[in-house]
Amino acid sequence: MKKIAVYTSGGDSPGMNACVRAVVRTGIYHNLDVYSIKYGYDGIINGNISKMESHSVSNILQRGGTILKSARSNEFRTKEGRKKAYDQLTKHGIDGLVAIGGDGTFTGAKIFYEEFGIPVVGCPGTIDNDIYGTDYTIGFDTAVNTALEAIDKIRDTAAAHDRVFFVEVMGRDSGYIAVECAIGGGAEVVMVPETITTSKQVSDYLKNLRESKTSSIVVVAEGDEEGDAATIMAKVKSEFVGEEEKKFKVTTLGHIQRGGSPTAKDRLLGSRSGLAAVEGLLNGKFNCMAGIINDQVVYTPFDDCINKNKPLNKDYLRLQEILSI
Amino acid sequence: MKKIAVYTSGGDSPGMNACVRAVVRTGIYHNLDVYSIKYGYDGIINGNISKMESHSVSNILQRGGTILKSARSNEFRTKEGRKKAYDQLTKHGIDGLVAIGGDGTFTGAKIFYEEFGIPVVGCPGTIDNDIYGTDYTIGFDTAVNTALEAIDKIRDTAAAHDRVFFVEVMGRDSGYIAVECAIGGGAEVVMVPETITTSKQVSDYLKNLRESKTSSIVVVAEGDEEGDAATIMAKVKSEFVGEEEKKFKVTTLGHIQRGGSPTAKDRLLGSRSGLAAVEGLLNGKFNCMAGIINDQVVYTPFDDCINKNKPLNKDYLRLQEILSI
Amino acid sequence: MKKIAVYTSGGDSPGMNACVRAVVRTGIYHNLDVYSIKYGYDGIINGNISKMESHSVSNILQRGGTILKSARSNEFRTKEGRKKAYDQLTKHGIDGLVAIGGDGTFTGAKIFYEEFGIPVVGCPGTIDNDIYGTDYTIGFDTAVNTALEAIDKIRDTAAAHDRVFFVEVMGRDSGYIAVECAIGGGAEVVMVPETITTSKQVSDYLKNLRESKTSSIVVVAEGDEEGDAATIMAKVKSEFVGEEEKKFKVTTLGHIQRGGSPTAKDRLLGSRSGLAAVEGLLNGKFNCMAGIINDQVVYTPFDDCINKNKPLNKDYLRLQEILSI
Amino acid sequence: MKKIAVYTSGGDSPGMNACVRAVVRTGIYHNLDVYSIKYGYDGIINGNISKMESHSVSNILQRGGTILKSARSNEFRTKEGRKKAYDQLTKHGIDGLVAIGGDGTFTGAKIFYEEFGIPVVGCPGTIDNDIYGTDYTIGFDTAVNTALEAIDKIRDTAAAHDRVFFVEVMGRDSGYIAVECAIGGGAEVVMVPETITTSKQVSDYLKNLRESKTSSIVVVAEGDEEGDAATIMAKVKSEFVGEEEKKFKVTTLGHIQRGGSPTAKDRLLGSRSGLAAVEGLLNGKFNCMAGIINDQVVYTPFDDCINKNKPLNKDYLRLQEILSI
């Protein structure tokens, strides 16, 4: 292997830049030529490809977002699009790829590898922590801390007015962000897609609680089966009357959870995963993702990353419940 | 004057605790007995009144919210309610009040003073910066910085995906938070209640801009005449087609802007205003607010605080426009 | 077991309050009476013991320091002191203890258990991450992030003036904080107690580097064998002349690393460890520490916690070296 | 005027980049060609001069440090050096300068103007807030908030161990940073160059205080006449004995105060000052600084900026004293 290229794809996450930097510098360390591709799969197709030097990735470690930009590509979903992409890589002499992203990114990479035999290793870049094959994904820790700081602020104003706040956090079909925020933020209730909690249960719980607590926080994962936070709040609120009813408020944290300077953990994870991806390519580990499990690098086939489920640690739900009394 | 009491009322704001601390300690410094009232005007009516010592306000300077809680009182809007409140104060021997809050708080205080002659001085506690008689209100600087940090994070993800984000910030009928955030966050457009900007103007502006800028931020003040950020975004988006249309996103920052540890400026302003309120009471300054104008304490009659308009500095709008090119 | 008590001892660390809260609420959940002891072992001796309710630990999860205060006790090092302590516990009917702290805390707990048979379970509360029997200690993640934010700020001014900064971080005999900060902060060099790096090596390295980099950061662990950061900087600086010599600066981060609102990770770890400690007591796990290894609760005998060495992951040093090119 | 150039000089401060951006974009708005000069006066001499476009200053508003780098120039202190600088400017056709920095920067600019008639307007960029002609300097608000966050963290650990911390903050000969930190941080004592406070007075004060307070913070301005914080602490400590003596700790915050993302206030001030500097040049305001006094742009002759003293608001010292009881 002589020339490798790196790209980011799908939703951006804090720590992607740390990962890009690690790929570039580890490649140079091993005497590879390293290229960057902008705008993910669209960028391969369009030949948006540049040579990277060590200093090209200076001063990006601490920045959110991705300097390589990201995009979702419709053209790459077609055979013709992928052929164009392959031709571009051939033209540039690129014989290895590092793909930073989530499920969708890896699905593209897997098909591309199977069709054209181009070696690819993935790095788990998503805030959702929903990828099998790694304890944490790059960006998750930052997103949790961002959401937690928001919940701390909301707690201030909730306490001042004896309010019940429903706070919606991200995570797609995963309750990881929600449950870690709920424990860290001392939330009274957490609603995640992995378990069934009805609005009725929540209103009953809050009614009991209102004798011992004047304000409460309910954290709702965006993928919860009961609906979004505003919908759930409306249902719960309808079980209360008079002054009580006025105490309900809802806030949806939104895209602030995707940005911001990455935490130490995400910089470390992005760096380790990026280094492992390049060394994986050099050691013939293709069609797989470089994750960290129990503090060790593990290469997991894309097939497993995409198809296997990463279950929520149920101990966390029990912990949240016991500590919110 | 021998016994004074302090309360917070209306929406909470960061720095209210610094102000409460200053009132308590300045009162003690001047050999007054100082009492706290919880839950604002309702607390006066219900006699929710406690003696404060110097250590009662230890370790609160850095905390958001208000340890005195806040509430909006319907009963105090009635003559009967205010009579009950007056009786409670008489019962406790309280002969002076410090009211921390905004317009509504001062309106209550003014009526109370006029009906019962109870000396009151106000401190401007609101994030909205919409009170005549002070350069800044307590909590404004923190709210702006909180919103700005959120915009910085959103800028990361906007840049990664070449998106246009509409970000709604608080401020009620005032555009202060919006315009300071927009300048600080390098927003491309700001929409405030003080000026007319149509959705059409925004979409035209963004169309021109898209040749030089791939991502943009539009800051919308919650009181803007064109509607809320989601409404405006929908209108603007409808002027774009295809891939362009998918780039629009909206986020409403919500109640995170009310909480959080106060900035240095808000701790200083809360402290100064609290001290000035107590010394105002001791010097016969009643029925007025202790604000800071040009770094000097100024006592402004409640009448003016409530009825006079605090205009937005138009230089700021020009600055935002020039710097967003 | 009917009555348990919890105390914090040794250096404080962010997340100790989360742990205290978890102990109190888990105890109450299991129908135990829970007491708090202030000022660690001195507090046991002096009977500084209070009954805790669920609300006693409200609103402390997000706070640095320890509401139970901490102290180092000379008296507890004597047999007489420990006898007094035992008598106090007997007097209060306390039949189980949770000790939050580090090596010194566990040494005291172990002797106390061996002499008087009082069941104790420990929780690893220290920023240094130097305790065998847990992947991380409570407070470590916060300390790393605090130091990292400081390094990010120093990088700004270092880059503006093309300077070389030596930054000393905490960690006692462990290089964990230093190495995670160095990776996260993109430091050019890291000096830790676990490996030998001479000042001469550092100056040679920096001389080579100055052709490709105009500013640099050297992270020094406080326990490094070459001395403290000021000493090392002086030695390194003496190898440079003229303008080059003026570029060297040193900063010692100091006690800011001990304080601050805990990160999500530290709130989670403190909570899990606190819950596990109480359930350990209930299940006959005495004279051991409740740590988290590979995301599972593990009880490790105090003997091992104290005597076994927790080695630095050498992959981290290699990672730092490769990425600093 | 057709071509202007901007440079930063002296110690860097957060918000300098906001100011650079404002100069560039305001210049372009007024149809000027705008150039940047790197490394301050040395950069003029060496012709380190580049053309700037609007996008050259994209994405720098939120960054600490200065993208134009800074340096102290010995050569510019000589007539020959300044002649070289003038020749470079002539060569590039530059007929106006914006100088961002402090006293030293303005002294250089003034001499340069007087010798060669080159129009210069200054912007007050320094964290020290020691410049006459502006209420605040660019970077001051960020430095105060950074120091304040550090003091909040130190308060956590001070309270946990009942310690007395001496915290040294920056500010050169000015006590502004110290006094605003002390008020915001609830410090028990503040020592500034503008007033005489002896170590003996501090130890007496702390002795009295130790009955009502278990932990204390003493903020020391770096320019205090009693010496640095370590020296003062040693003197104060020597007045205590036994256990009391062990409670004293010192920390010097150092260069973290110079870096970090600027606050909203500093971004606004940097932006306003930069715009005013360019419009000053266009309106014949030379040899002066564009500051903000009472929310209005004011141009103050360099002579006054350099020679007149900016006194500390004594109300602040009284406020600190009353609130620390």
Whole-Å CA distances, A237 to A157, A256, C300 = 19, 27, 47
Question: CA-to-CA distance for B257 and B170, rounded, in angstroms?
Answer: 7
Which fold, C142-258?
Answer: Rossmann fold (3.40.50)
Given this chain, do its domains C3-139+262-307 and C142-258 carry the same CATH topology? yes
Q: Which residues of chain B have pLDDT under 50?
A: none
| pLDDT per position as a tens digit, B80-106 | 999 999 999 999 999 999 999 999 999
Question: CA-to-CA distance for C46 and C43, rounded, in angstroms?
Answer: 5
Average pLDDT on A131-149 reads: 98
The percent of residues in chain D predicted with pLDDT above 70, rounded, is 100
Q: Are the beta carbons of D256 and D177 closer than 8 angstroms?
A: no
Average pLDDT on C258-262 reads: 97
Question: CA-to-CA distance for B130 and B172, rounded, in angstroms?
Answer: 8
Average pLDDT on A191-195 reads: 97
Please determine, for residue D86, whether its predicted confidence score (pLDDT) is greater than 90.
yes
Number of C-beta neighbours around residue D296 at 10 A: 13
- Closest by alpha carbon to A34, among A9, A51, A48? A51
Please determine, for residue A247, whether its predicted confidence score (pLDDT) is greater than 80.
yes
Residue A315 is among the residues annotated as catalytic for this protein = no
Banded model confidence at residue D242, pLDDT cuts 50, 70, 90: confident
Average pLDDT on D53-72 reads: 96
**Using beta carbons and an 8 Å cutoff, which residues of B are at the interface with A?**
8, 12, 14, 63-66, 69-71, 146, 149-150, 152-157, 159-162, 165, 249, 251-256, 258-260
Across the beta sheet with A216-221, the strand order is: A189-191, A216-221, A164-169, A248-252
Q: What is the pLDDT of residue B307?
A: 97
Q: What is the pLDDT of residue C72?
A: 85
Residues linked to residue D164 through DSSP beta bridges, in sequence order: D216, D248
Number of C-beta neighbours around residue C212 at 10 A: 11
Average pLDDT on C273-283 reads: 98
CB atoms C268 and A184 under 8 Å: yes
If DSSP codes are grouped into helix, strand and coil, which group holds residue A293? strand
Q: Characterize B110-146 residue by residue with b for buried, 16 or more Cβ atoms within 10 angstroms of its Cβ, and e for exposed.
A: bebbeeeebbbbbbbbbbbbbbbbbbbbbbbbbbbbb
CB atoms B61 and D184 under 8 Å: yes
Farthest-apart Cα atoms in chain B, separation: 71
Q: What is the pLDDT of residue D213?
A: 86
Q: Tell me what the pLDDT averaged over chain D comes to.
A: 97
In this structure, chain B runs to a length of 325
Q: What is the pLDDT of residue D21?
A: 98
Q: Are the beta carbons of A60 and A262 closer than 8 angstroms?
A: no
**Using beta carbons and an 8 Å cutoff, which residues of C are at the interface with D?**
8, 12, 14, 63-66, 69-71, 146, 149-150, 152-157, 159-162, 165, 249, 251-256, 258-260
Question: Which residues in D lie closer than 8 A to residue C252 (C-beta atoms)?
Answer: 252, 254
The percent of residues in chain D predicted with pLDDT above 90, rounded, is 96
Residue in D29, D135, D155 closest to B325 by CB: D29
Across the beta sheet with D164-169, the strand order is: D189-191, D216-221, D164-169, D248-252
* Mutation site, C72, C217, C256, C261, interface D, largest D CB count within 10 A: C256
Q: What is the pLDDT of residue C210?
A: 77
Which fold, A141-258?
Answer: Rossmann fold (3.40.50)
Q: Are the beta carbons of D101 and D8 closer than 8 angstroms?
A: yes
Would you tell me the crossing angle of helices A229-237 and A199-209 to the nearest 10 degrees? 60
Q: What is the pLDDT of residue A12?
A: 96
Average pLDDT on A288-308 reads: 98
Question: Which residues in A lie closer than 8 A to residue B42 (C-beta atoms)?
Answer: none
Question: CA-to-CA distance for D239 and B138, rounded, in angstroms?
Answer: 40
CA C7 to chain centre: 16
Average pLDDT on C240-245 reads: 89
Banded model confidence at residue A210, pLDDT cuts 50, 70, 90: confident
Question: CA-to-CA distance for D189 and C31, rounded, in angstroms?
Answer: 47
Question: Which residues in A lie closer than 8 A to residue B73 (C-beta atoms)?
Answer: none
At residue C231, φ and ψ (nearest 5 deg) are -65, -45
CB atoms B322 and D25 under 8 Å: yes
CB atoms D272 and B319 under 8 Å: yes
In this structure, chain D runs to a length of 325
| pLDDT per position as a tens digit, D260-300 | 999 999 999 999 999 999 999 999 999 999 999 999 999 99
- The three-state DSSP-derived secondary structure of C249-295 is EEEECHHHHHCCCCCHHHHHHHHHHHHHHHHHHHCCCCCEEEEEECC
H helices present in chain C, as ranges? 16-29, 40-46, 79-92, 103-116, 140-161, 176-184, 199-209, 229-237, 264-282, 302-307, 314-323
Distance from CA of B200 to the nearest CA of D (A): 24
Q: What is the pLDDT of residue B26?
A: 98
Question: CA-to-CA distance for A220 and A88, rounded, in angstroms?
Answer: 44
The ipTM assigned to this model is: 0.97
CB atoms B325 and D267 under 8 Å: no
Beta pairing, strands A216-221 & B288-293 = unpaired
H helices present in D93-245, as ranges? 103-116, 140-161, 176-185, 199-209, 229-237
If DSSP codes are grouped into helix, strand and coil, which group holds residue B168? strand
| pLDDT per position as a tens digit, C172-190 | 999 999 999 999 999 999 9
Q: Where are the domains of chain D?
A: 3-139+262-307, 142-258
CA A112 to chain centre: 23
Q: What is the pLDDT of residue C213?
A: 86
B186 token code pair: 């390098």
At residue B161, φ and ψ (nearest 5 deg) are -115, 10
Task: Please pick, among A42, A128, A130, A141, the residue that the annotation labels catalytic.
Answer: A128
At residue D103, φ and ψ (nearest 5 deg) are -45, -55
Question: CA-to-CA distance for A41 and A99, rounded, in angstroms?
Answer: 10
Residue in A63, A160, A251 closest to B66 by CB: A160
Contacts of D252 (CB under 8 A, 6+ apart): C251, C252, C254, D167, D168, D228, D229, D230
Amino acid at the residue C210 = R
Q: Are the beta carbons of D143 and D13 closer than 8 angstroms?
A: yes
Question: CA-to-CA distance for A153 and A84, rounded, in angstroms?
Answer: 49
Question: CA-to-CA distance for B109 and B102, rounded, in angstroms?
Answer: 11
- The three-state DSSP-derived secondary structure of A124-179 is EECCCCCCCCCCCCECHHHHHHHHHHHHHHHHHHHHHHCCEEEEEECCCCCCHHHH
| pLDDT per position as a tens digit, C98-133 | 999 999 999 999 999 999 999 999 999 999 999 999
Burial (CB count within 10 angstroms: exposed 0-12, middle 13-18, buried 19+), residue D284 = exposed
Q: Under CATH, to which class is B3-139+262-307 assigned?
A: alpha beta
Banded model confidence at residue D211, pLDDT cuts 50, 70, 90: confident
| pLDDT per position as a tens digit, D113-142 | 999 999 999 999 999 999 999 999 999 999
Q: What is the pLDDT of residue A213?
A: 86
Question: CA-to-CA distance for B281 and B299, rounded, in angstroms?
Answer: 11
Chains that touch C (3 or more CB pairs under 8 A): A, D
Q: What is the pLDDT of residue B212?
A: 83
Please determine, for residue D210, whether its predicted confidence score (pLDDT) is greater than 90.
no
Average pLDDT on C209-223 reads: 91
Number of C-beta neighbours around residue C209 at 10 A: 17
Q: Characterize D65-78 residue by residue with b for buried, 16 or more Cβ atoms within 10 angstroms of its Cβ, and e for exposed.
A: bbbbbbbbbeebee
| pLDDT per position as a tens digit, C36-86 | 999 999 999 999 999 999 999 999 999 999 999 999 899 999 999 999 999
Query: Sign of dihedral through CA atoms B262, B263, B264, B266?
Result: negative
- Closest by alpha carbon to B263, among A212, C11, C287, D185? D185
The percent of residues in chain C predicted with pLDDT above 70, rounded, is 100
Q: Are the beta carbons of D148 and D214 closer than 8 angstroms?
A: no
CATH number of B143-258: 3.40.50.460
Whole-Å CA distances, C278 to C30, C193, C303 = 9, 35, 20
Q: What is the pLDDT of residue D274?
A: 98
